[in-house]
């Protein structure tokens, strides 16, 4: 056997051997994501009848999952076997498994899809629509009674059987659900619904929550399409209520006696599944009651007989020619429509294909008049109005022979992507507004695809965000003015730059930014001049303070940066001079003056550590000198020279640890001096020296007595006048 080609021209594997040792593949009819569909012959039956084989490709999973996969396959096959008990549902003939996957063998139905009968601008009459409802709802009610839904009802999946003209339900969703289950088990992405099928699916099914009433909706849409001669994409929901506006396509005068049929169809396609017939059983009962109340002549079965050969596939003679009909739209009988269907195939040959349950049909030829561009324009209008499923259905109905075919396919892909993006952006805008992030709302609005529906849907969000933007802009403007009053142009500019572009104050803010930028330049120039003035009097610290206020974004900043380097070096030279002066004062035992000099050196320079070290050193020596005054006074008191002792104690500086002890001894020595003047006082005994006191005595080479151990911060020394103490009394 040569390489087989699918209908889409996709090369498939060679199938030389018999499948399951029994089925010979004749042709690959179709290739899907889940596998292939074959037209085959059963070699074990005498007549070797044709059958349809669905090959579900294996998904490579861990060995322990094989039993679970096999269970899913058997379960779905059992459902198909149940359904096959009805005459209008194809039979499941066999199922088997090999290393290449799983296989379902099903009855091959000879006929053609209902889509060849439902022609645009050729509406059916009521009798034909009622017969369609009866023929399709009866097998569907059988499935619903067993809790099985079809899930994939379109005109292409309602087959007019050649044998008897009955409607056969094909392409149940079981195999697709099997594949979805396998993908889910394997953790792979789930297939999406074909856009061409969405016009026949109700809202809950599009949202992934189908029910039995979803099938009722699909049958109702197909019946309305036949009754009006209009594709569903042109009459589906357009209002916020979600109701379908199709009844306006029907003239009340034309059908005065059958408003009951319109009422039944209206309920069948209600957007709320709870308002619909719960199942095909209820819908079928309503049709039976309609036929009892209003006699409707049933359509003759012979009207659907096909070329007088009920068990054959149609191969029209190639010599006949297609005769276009340019007459106004009119109702056609079933036989006339059937004749038109046959004429469609004349002169172009026959193409055989199959759905998941198996059937053969004729493919429509290209229209004589290319209506593709007009249909694409209608689809674009539907998309702009927010009716994405209808737009996709219209665009995908454009035949491959139309010049608009490629543009339509590109448009559908773009619409799907834009719609997905717009949905995501809309949700982001809603979430951002809930959290008062109005800037994000306005930013996301700019990224919305060019679609009138989404612009209108987000209009309220944008309006609210703009209102918040105006409020914020007003607050920022007031804050900027306050900064300007404080001469802080840099802060004012920073605030003004936060005003959103979409606010009405944005233009005012831009003008003020230019104004304050100029004023900041003027102020920076003034600060630079002030720094020059301070440096001229060798106040480099003050000069640096002015220079550091100059903003880096100003034109004079480069000059300021060079001056900072220059003045920093000069400041260090000056500070080192102060440090040297302090060293000289300390060498002369004028510690208080040395400390005062050190305090003139500002912090934040390279001399910080040295200044701190010397301040600590000179403070300790200053305290030691104060202690020596107390000790000398004690020595004078021992010798009963209270006048000299009191003079020494009065020179102990305030703020030194010895100051408190000196005050106490002043009182004591003053009392002893008065006693001395009145009599002879008791001599004062010398006190034993501690090791610390001995070291202090060694420094000053004198007798030392213990002094107060209370410490006082160096900062307390700033009130002392070194001229009152250090220059009058030497520690030595």
Among residues 267, 288, 280, 56, the alpha carbon closest in space to that of 150 is found at 280
Cα angle vertex 70, ends 64, 76, to 5°?
Answer: 145
The Cα 43–Cα 429 span in angstroms is 63
What is this structure's pTM?
0.46
The Cα 690–Cα 599 span in angstroms is 33
The Cα 567–Cα 574 span in angstroms is 10
Of the ranges 216-220, 329-333, 627-631, 709-713, the best mean pLDDT one: 216-220
According to the model, what pLDDT value does residue 158 have? 94
* Residues counted in the chain: 732
Cα angle vertex 633, ends 631, 639, to 5°?
Answer: 110
The Cα 9–Cα 84 span in angstroms is 32
| DSSP 8-state assignment for residue 102 | E
Tokens in use for 518? 């100029």
pLDDT classification of 154: cutoffs 50, 70, 90: very high
Domain ranges of the chain: 114-300, 372-434, 458-587, 608-725
pLDDT at residue 609 is higher than 60: yes
The DSSP secondary structure of 19-34, one letter per residue, reads BTTTEEEEEEEEEETT
SS3 sequence of 3-16: CCECCCCCECCCCC
Residue with tokens 């944008």: 462
* Mean pLDDT calculated for residue range 321-345: 43
pLDDT classification of 334: cutoffs 50, 70, 90: low
Counting other chains too, the contacts that 560-564 makes at CB distance below 8 Å and 24 or more residues apart are 560/524, 560/527, 560/528, 560/531, 563/528, 563/531, 563/532, 563/535
According to the model, what pLDDT value does residue 515 have? 87
List strand residue ranges (DSSP E) for 84-185, in order: 92-98, 101-107, 109-113, 158-161, 167-169
pLDDT at residue 49 is higher than 60: yes
Beta-bridge mates of residue 111: 161
The Cα 695–Cα 336 span in angstroms is 133
The Cα 331–Cα 27 span in angstroms is 39
The Cα 226–Cα 230 span in angstroms is 7
Among residues 644, 629, 639, 597, the alpha carbon closest in space to that of 708 is found at 629
3-state secondary structure of 349: coil
pLDDT classification of 393: cutoffs 50, 70, 90: confident
pLDDT tens by residue, 631-645: 999 999 999 999 999
pLDDT at residue 238 is higher than 90: no
pLDDT at residue 675 is higher than 70: yes
The DSSP secondary structure of 576-636, one letter per residue, reads HHHHHHHHHHHHTT-HHHHHHHHTTSPSSSTTHHHHHHHHHHHHHHHHHHHHHHHHHHHHH
| Mean confidence (pLDDT) of the chain | 76
Among residues 267, 260, 334, the alpha carbon closest in space to that of 302 is found at 334
Q: At what angle do helices 259-268 and 126-145 cross, to 10 degrees?
A: 40
Tokens in use for 186? 């394997």
According to the model, what pLDDT value does residue 77 have? 84
pLDDT at residue 437 is higher than 70: yes
pLDDT classification of 155: cutoffs 50, 70, 90: very high
* Mean pLDDT calculated for residue range 43-58: 87
pLDDT classification of 60: cutoffs 50, 70, 90: low
Q: What proportion of the chain, given as a percentage, has pLDDT over 70? A: 72
pLDDT tens by residue, 103-122: 999 998 888 899 888 888 78
When mean pLDDT is compared across 7-21, 286-300, 643-657, the lowest value belongs to 7-21
* Mean pLDDT calculated for residue range 242-266: 67
* Mean pLDDT calculated for residue range 499-521: 86
The Cα 426–Cα 570 span in angstroms is 63
* Mean pLDDT calculated for residue range 663-670: 91
pLDDT at residue 10 is higher than 90: no
114-300 CATH choice from 3.40.50.2300, 1.10.3720.10, 1.10.510.10, 1.20.120.1200? 1.10.510.10
pLDDT at residue 13 is higher than 60: no
Counting other chains too, the contacts that 683-689 makes at CB distance below 8 Å and 24 or more residues apart are 683/638, 683/640, 684/634, 684/637, 684/638, 685/638, 686/638, 687/634
Among residues 220, 204, 206, the alpha carbon closest in space to that of 271 is found at 204
Tokens in use for 79? 């459902």
Residue ranges of alpha helices (H) inside 189-258 are 203-206, 212-228
pLDDT at residue 160 is higher than 60: yes
pLDDT at residue 320 is higher than 50: no
The Cα 40–Cα 26 span in angstroms is 5
The kind and range of the H/E element at 143 are helix 126-145
According to the model, what pLDDT value does residue 367 have? 40
Estimate the share of the chain in helix, then strand, then coil, as percent rounded to the nearest 5: 55, 10, 40
* Mean pLDDT calculated for residue range 549-575: 88
Residue with tokens 């290393």: 99
Characterise 698 by phi-psi region: left (phi > 0), alpha (psi -120 to 50), beta (else).
alpha
CA Rg value for the chain: 51
The Cα 396–Cα 411 span in angstroms is 10
pLDDT at residue 30 is higher than 70: yes
Of residues 362 and 115, more confidence is placed in 115
pLDDT at residue 358 is higher than 80: no
Strands 109-113 and 359-360: parallel
| DSSP 8-state assignment for residue 229 | T
Whether 672 contacts 637, CB under 8 Å: yes
According to the model, what pLDDT value does residue 66 have? 67
According to the model, what pLDDT value does residue 363 have? 37
When mean pLDDT is compared across 39-43, 254-258, 421-425, the lowest value belongs to 254-258
């Amino acid at each position: 056997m040569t390489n087989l080609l699918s209908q889409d021209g996709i090369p498939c594997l060679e199938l030389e051997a018999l499948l399951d040792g029994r089925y010979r593949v004749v042709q690959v009819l179709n290739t899907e994501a889940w596998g292939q569909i074959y037209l085959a012959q059963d070699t074990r039956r005498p007549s070797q009848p044709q059958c349809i084989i669905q090959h579900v490709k294996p998904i490579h999973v861990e060995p322990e999952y094989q039993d679970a996969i096999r269970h899913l396959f058997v379960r779905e096959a059992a459902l198909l076997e149940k359904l096959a008990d009805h005459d209008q549902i194809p039979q499941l003939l066999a199922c088997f498994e090999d290393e290449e996957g799983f296989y379902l063998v099903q009855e091959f139905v000879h006929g053609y899809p209902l889509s060849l009968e439902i022609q645009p601008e050729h509406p059916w009459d009521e009798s034909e629509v009622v017969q369609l409802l009866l023929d399709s709802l009866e097998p569907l009610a059988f499935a619903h009674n067993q809790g099985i839904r079809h899930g994939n009802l379109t005109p292409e999946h309602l087959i007019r059987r050649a044998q008897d003209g009955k409607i056969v339900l094909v392409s149940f969703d079981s195999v697709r659900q099997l594949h979805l289950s396998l993908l889910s088990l394997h953790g792979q992405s789930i297939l999406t619904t074909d856009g061409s099928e969405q016009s026949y699916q109700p809202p809950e099914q599009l949202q992934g929550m189908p029910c039995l009433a979803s099938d009722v909706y699909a049958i109702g849409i197909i019946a309305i399409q036949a009754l009006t001669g209009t594709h569903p994409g042109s009459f589906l929901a357009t209002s916020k209520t979600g109701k379908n506006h199709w009844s306006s396509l029907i003239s009340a005068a034309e059908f005065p006696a059958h408003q009951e049929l319109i009422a039944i169809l209206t309920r069948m396609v209600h957007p709320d599944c709870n308002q619909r017939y719960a199942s095909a059983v209820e819908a079928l009962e309503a049709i039976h009651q309609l036929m009892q109340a209003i006699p409707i002549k049933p359509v003759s079965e012979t009207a659907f007989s096909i070329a007088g050969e009920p068990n054959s596939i149609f191969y029209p003679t190639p010599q006949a020619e297609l005769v276009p009909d340019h007459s106004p739209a009119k109702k056609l009988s079933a036989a006339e429509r059937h004749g038109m269907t046959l004429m469609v195939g004349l002169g172009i040959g026959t193409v055989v294909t199959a759905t998941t349950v198996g059937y053969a049909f004729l493919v429509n030829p290209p229209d004589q008049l290319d209506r593709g561009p007009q249909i694409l324009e209608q689809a674009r209008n539907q998309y702009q109005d927010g009716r994405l499923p209808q737009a996709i259905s219209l665009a995908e109905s454009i035949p491959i022979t139309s010049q608009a075919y490629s543009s339509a396919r590109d448009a559908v892909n773009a619409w799907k992507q834009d719609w997905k993006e717009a949905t995501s952006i809309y949700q982001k805008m809603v979430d951002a507004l809930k959290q008062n992030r109005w800037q994000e709302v306005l930013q996301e609005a700019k990224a919305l695809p060019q679609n009138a529906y989404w612009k209108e849907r987000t209009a309220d969000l944008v309006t609210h965000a703009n209102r918040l933007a105006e409020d914020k802009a007003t607050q920022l403007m007031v804050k900027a003015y306050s900064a300007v009053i404080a001469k802080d142009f840099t802060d004012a500019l920073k605030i003004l730059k936060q005003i959103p572009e979409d606010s009405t104050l944005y233009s005012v803010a831009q003008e003020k930014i230019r104004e304050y930028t100029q004023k900041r330049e003027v102020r920076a120039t003034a600060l630079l001049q002030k720094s020059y003035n301070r440096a001229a009097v060798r106040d480099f610290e003050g000069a640096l303070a002015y220079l550091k206020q100059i903003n880096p974004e100003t034109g004079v900043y480069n000059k300021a940066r060079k001056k900072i380097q220059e003045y920093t070096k000069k400041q260090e030279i000056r500070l080192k001079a102060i440090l040297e002066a302090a060293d000289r004062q300390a060498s002369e035992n004028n510690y208080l003056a040395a400390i005062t000099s050190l305090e003139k050196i500002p912090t934040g320079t390279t001399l910080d550590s040295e200044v701190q070290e010397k301040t600590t050193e000179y403070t300790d020596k200053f305290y030691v000198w104060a202690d020596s005054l107390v000790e000398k006074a004690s020595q004078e008191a021992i010798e009963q020279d209270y006048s000299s002792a009191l003079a020494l104690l009065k020179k102990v500086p305030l703020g030194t640890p010895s100051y408190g002890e000196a005050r106490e001894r002043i009182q004591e020595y003053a009392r002893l001096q008065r006693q001395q003047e009145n009599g002879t006082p008791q001599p004062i005994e010398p006190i034993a020296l501690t090791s610390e006191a001995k070291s202090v005595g060694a420094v000053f080479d004198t007798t030392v007595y213990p002094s107060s151990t209370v410490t006082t911060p160096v900062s307390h020394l700033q009130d002392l006048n070194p001229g009152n103490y250090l220059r009058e009394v030497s520690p030595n």
